[in-house]
Structure 1
Amino acid sequence: MPRKLEPGIRNRIKEFRASEEGMTQQFLADHVGVTRQTIVALEAEGYTPSLTLALRIAQLFGKSVEEVFWIDE
């Protein structure tokens, strides 16, 4: 289960998902092994993923983890 998001951690999941024609939250969830509700929480920046999940998400988008997640200080 994802942990609560630390202050200042941001992501571009929604942006990258929207740029992939037809990629739904459910599609993303199914391909990275989580529930759609987890994707909803991640896109709302309410949770931060485990390292494994962050790597899976980045890999699915063909991006580095740093391109998907960053610390906004």
Structure 2
Amino acid sequence: MGIIGINRSPSCGVDITSKNDQEVAGEGVFIEILRKKLEKNISIDMVGIKVLEIEKALIDIQRLINTK
């Protein structure tokens, strides 16, 4: 079980978000709230992918699957 977010999204970025149309390190608003709520009760892995980096996204998703 895990969560896949879309990096650079201002809401769903896991590692990278967007502020003032600039790519910056950090979580999007939704992912940040979700992580804080979940960490009170469960531990769940999250991975951020970029839709234009398909090969890397597939590798990261496979890594997420293999950790379980």
Could you state the TM-score of these two structures normalised by the residue count of structure 1? 0.28
More relative contact order in 1 or in 2 (CA 8 Å, sep 6+)? 1
- Greater C-alpha radius of gyration: 2
Larger fraction in strand: 2
| Greater share of residues in helix | 1
Q: TM-score, normalised by structure 2?
A: 0.29
